[in-house]
């Protein structure tokens, strides 16, 4: 495996955890006696490992506001990870009268509600994504400022990432006296009353801050831990195939190396459908557009708006039929079980990918899609590939499946949400060279 060291990791500080959310009120006396008896029987059983678990924590209520220019990776990753933990997450647009928001890099999202409709709602956590001018637009929303100040004044958890700690929380005076971090080029914009630190994720009291897209998954898992405790955070992190050492290195396994040089503006198709994994789709689109590729996002549904696997509403550029009028240098399938199944059932899309493969042009897939969409249609025949670990048994050739990213000639595959950034950076490296991939990794605070 070509493992490439990138940089020494900035380790997370020792975490100062809040107590998980309180459990529901005690049961009536007769139910408490029954519960006590049940626990006693369980503890006396020879199968002590199967004793009853403690009651589940209260479902957390979370607000994630978005605005024009919001960094989509930071918003979507936060929403997706918290919903995986069972939190009730409201994505609210601060743009007056518009639920659809144009995020950075042309990624379009549709909010669940307008912020004005949630003005009197109570939340357990408010988390601000970054991006510019998204962070400035959040800062300038007086309603949001008042909501966050009221929320913080009650001792509740609040958080921000990338530019938002300095631009929004700092300007509102909500970081004064606290240790905080933010996007590297905004560190000097933190108020003098803030103890600025360069941690990838920083916790101080009820406030959590972080640095950028490359730290967004770590940040989100920390938020889960603050709300629900370490056991839940570990439960959520495991299936995402997160990087074992953040900020240290990424790797890919390459076989049958061939040139991917298709010019300075590669034409790339990213199909999305109901059930597509939103983190994977967003990272692929965002990162490749940062690299100056022309990325076309095509909906397989009857409308441009799709509802992704964790109910994030994404808005495509075109419908698939319109996308088929063009030719592409590279076709990439995000994962998500529902999305992968939709790709597999689309004769038009599979036909396009088959023509791509027959012409020895570039194609790839991540998570469930290699196993569900490519393998059954013969698109992995004679190729080494990987997929979501729970689907390795569906691959006819599993010899390289343990690698996080596998490149075999004109095909690239990867494992899941936690490998999406490595997957996208490997594509950038193959299309544009190592220097541009490293530059992007630094810009996103991957390293």
Q: In terms of DSSP H, where are the helices of 291-418?
A: 320-323, 337-345, 347-358, 369
List the pLDDT tens digit at each of the 447 positions of the chain. 344 433 333 334 444 445 455 444 444 433 333 333 333 323 333 332 222 223 345 799 999 999 999 999 999 999 999 999 999 999 999 998 899 999 999 999 999 999 999 999 999 999 999 999 999 999 999 999 999 999 999 999 999 999 999 999 999 999 999 999 999 999 999 999 999 999 999 999 999 999 999 999 999 999 999 999 999 999 999 999 998 877 666 779 999 999 999 999 999 999 999 999 999 999 999 999 999 999 999 999 999 999 999 999 999 999 999 999 999 999 999 999 999 999 999 999 999 999 999 999 999 999 999 999 999 999 999 999 999 999 999 999 999 999 999 999 999 999 999 999 999 999 999 999 999 999 999 999 998
**Residue 424 to residues 8, 421, 428: CA-CA distances in angstroms?**
21, 5, 6
Lookup result for tokens 């004769």: 347
**Residue 201 to residues 213, 280, 413: CA-CA distances in angstroms?**
12, 22, 29
Q: Residue 318: which H helix or E strand, with range?
A: strand 318-319
Quickly name the fold that domain 253-444 has.
Rossmann fold (3.40.50)
Kindly tell me the burial class for residue 377, based on how many C-beta atoms sit within 10 Å of its own C-beta (0-12, 13-18, 19 or more).
middle
Q: Give the angle subtended at the CA of 415 by the CAs of 411 and 421, to the nearest 5°.
A: 85
Tell me the Ramachandran region of residue 205: left when phi exceeds 0, alpha when psi lies from -120 to 50, beta otherwise: left
Q: Which residues are catalytic?
A: 162
What is the C-alpha to C-alpha distance for residues 124 and 241, in angstroms, rounded to an integer? 27
Task: Identify the CATH assignment for 61-238 out of 3.40.50.880, 3.50.50.60, 1.10.290.10, 3.40.50.300.
Answer: 3.40.50.880
The reported pLDDT for the residue numbered 2 is 44
Same fold, 61-238 and 253-444: yes
pTM over 0.85: yes
Kindly provide the residue ranges of all beta strands, DSSP E only, lying in 321-438, ordered along the sequence. Answer: 330-333, 362-366, 405-408, 411-414
The reported pLDDT for the residue numbered 244 is 82
Domain spans of the chain, in order of start = 61-238, 253-444
Spacing of C-alpha 250 from chain mean position = 17
The reported pLDDT for the residue numbered 51 is 27
Supply the DSSP symbol for 414. E
The reported pLDDT for the residue numbered 18 is 53
Residue pair 412/427 in contact (Cβ under 8 Å)? The answer is yes
Annotate 229-277 with three-state secondary structure: CHHHHHHHHHHHCCCCCCCCEEEEEEECCCCCCCCCCCEEEEEECCCCC
The reported pLDDT for the residue numbered 246 is 76
> Is the Cα torsion angle 25, 30, 36, 42 positive or negative in sign?
negative
């Amino acid at each position: 495996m070509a493992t490439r060291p990138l940089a020494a990791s900035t380790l997370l500080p020792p975490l100062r955890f809040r107590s998980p959310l309180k459990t529901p009120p005690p049961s009536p006396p007769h139910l408490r006696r029954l519960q006590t008896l049940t626990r006693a029987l369980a503890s006396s059983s020879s199968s002590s490992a199967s004793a009853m678990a403690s009651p589940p924590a209260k479902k957390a209520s979370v607000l994630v506001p978005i605005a024009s220019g919001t960094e989509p990776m930071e918003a979507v990753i936060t929403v997706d990870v918290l919903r995986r933990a069972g939190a009730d997450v409201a994505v609210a647009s601060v743009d007056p009268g518009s639920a659809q928001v144009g995020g950075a890099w042309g990624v379009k999202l549709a909010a669940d509600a307008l912020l004005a409709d949630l003005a009197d709602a109570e939340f357990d956590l408010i988390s601000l994504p970054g991006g510019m001018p998204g962070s400035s637009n959040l800062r300038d929303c007086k309603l949001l400022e008042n909501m966050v100040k009221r929320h913080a004044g009650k001792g509740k958890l609040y958080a921000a990432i990338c530019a938002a700690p300095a631009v929004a929380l700092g300007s509102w005076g909500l970081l004064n006296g606290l240790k905080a971090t933010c996007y590297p080029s905004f560190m000097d914009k933190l108020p003098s009353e803030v103890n600025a630190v360069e941690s990838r994720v920083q916790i101080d009291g009820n406030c959590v801050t972080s640095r950028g897209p490359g730290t967004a998954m770590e940040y989100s898992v920390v938020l889960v831990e603050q709300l629900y405790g370490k056991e839940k955070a570990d439960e959520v992190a495991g299936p995402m195939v997160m990087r074992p050492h953040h900020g240290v290195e990424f790797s890919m396994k390459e076989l049958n190396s061939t040139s991917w040089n298709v010019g300075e503006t590669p034409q790339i198709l990213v199909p999305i459908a109901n059930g597509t994994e939103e983190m994977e789709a967003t990272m692929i689109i965002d990162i490749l557009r940062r690299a100056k590729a022309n990325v076309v996002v095509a909906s397989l549904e009857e409308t441009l708006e799709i509802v992704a696997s964790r109910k994030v509403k994404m808005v495509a550029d075109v419908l698939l039929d319109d996308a088929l009028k063009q030719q592409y240098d590279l076709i990439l399938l995000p994962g998500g079980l529902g999305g992968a199944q939709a790709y597999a059932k689309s004769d038009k899309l599979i036909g396009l990918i088959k023509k791509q493969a027959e012409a020895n042009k570039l194609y790839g897939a991540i998570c469930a899609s290699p196993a569900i969409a490519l393998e059954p249609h013969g698109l992995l025949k004679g190729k080494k590939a990987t997929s979501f670990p729970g689907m390795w048994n569906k691959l006819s050739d599993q010899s390289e499946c343990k690698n996080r990213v596998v490149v075999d000639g004109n095909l690239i595959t990867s494992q899941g949400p936690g490998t999406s950034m490595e997957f996208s950076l490997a594509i950038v490296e193959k299309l544009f060279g190592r220097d541009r991939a490293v530059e992007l990794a630094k810009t996103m605070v991957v390293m």
